[in-house]
Structures are given as C-alpha cells and as structure tokens.
Amino acid sequence: MPIDVYLYPRCGTCRKAKKWLDDQEVDYNEIHIVEETPSKDKLKDLYEKSGLELKKFFNTSGQKYRELGLKDRIKEAPEEELLELLASDGMLIKRPIVTDGEKVTVGFKEEMFDEIWNKES
C-alpha cells in the first residue's frame, strides 16, 4: 500500500526524500503541497498522529513564515489558529510530510526514514 508524500517539487529536502524512497523502492503517492494544500482537518490528523509539537509543522526557514512574523505568534496562538494558518498556504508547511495513515514524519532525516519507512525494517 503506497504512502502519501506531501512535498514541493523545487524543495531540495523533498528531492532528497524522494530519492531515498525511490532507492528503497517504497511505493508512494506524490502530493504537491502547494497545489493540494492539506485541509485544516487533515493537518490536525497528521499533527495528532505525528506526536510532534504543532510548531514542527511550520516551515520556519520559509519566506512566507518570516513575512507573516510567525516566530513570536506561534508561541501564543491557539492550536485552531495555527492549523488554519497552515491550511491557508502550503508554503508555510514544513516538508515533506510522509504518512501511511498511522505513522507521520515531517522533514527528511535519513536515519528517521531508515527507521520508519524502510520496508526491510
């Protein structure tokens, strides 16, 4: 069963993740995170399954994040507001997000992918 990979094609980190998945022969669906930005409900589901803090879902190095001055807002804003912000613009979301419907990873670290997405593990 293929996993879903939310990515931005021009993102270097996303390209590294895709190469890793291809090299490991992992079956996946590629979802363009800007053209098909996940809904607030989908993001909430991914966030809850990930076990990560919601701020880990923000692309903190992105231009949009800086333009909106989210560095300070993110600390106090309610969860609902943060989820709405993420759902409003795929460029605000850290990528890639990889999920099989149960497990969720955000970003790409080879060790993490080896542990979670390697079929032979």
Contact between 43 and 86 (Cβ < 8 Å): yes
Q: Across the strands, what pairs with 58?
A: 93
What letter represents residue 114's amino acid? D
Which residue intervals of 6-39 are DSSP H helices?
A: 12-23
- Residue 14 pLDDT > 50, yes or no? yes
pLDDT at 97: 98
* pLDDT value at residue 120: 58
Q: List the domain range (segments joined by +) for residue 70.
A: 3-117
Name the phi and psi angles at 5, rounded to 5: -125, 110
> pLDDT, tens digit, for every residue of 27-53?
999 999 999 999 999 999 999 999 999
Instruction: Say how far apart CA 20 and CA 107 lie, in whole Å.
Output: 13
Total domains, the chain = 1
CATH number for position 23:
3.40.30.10
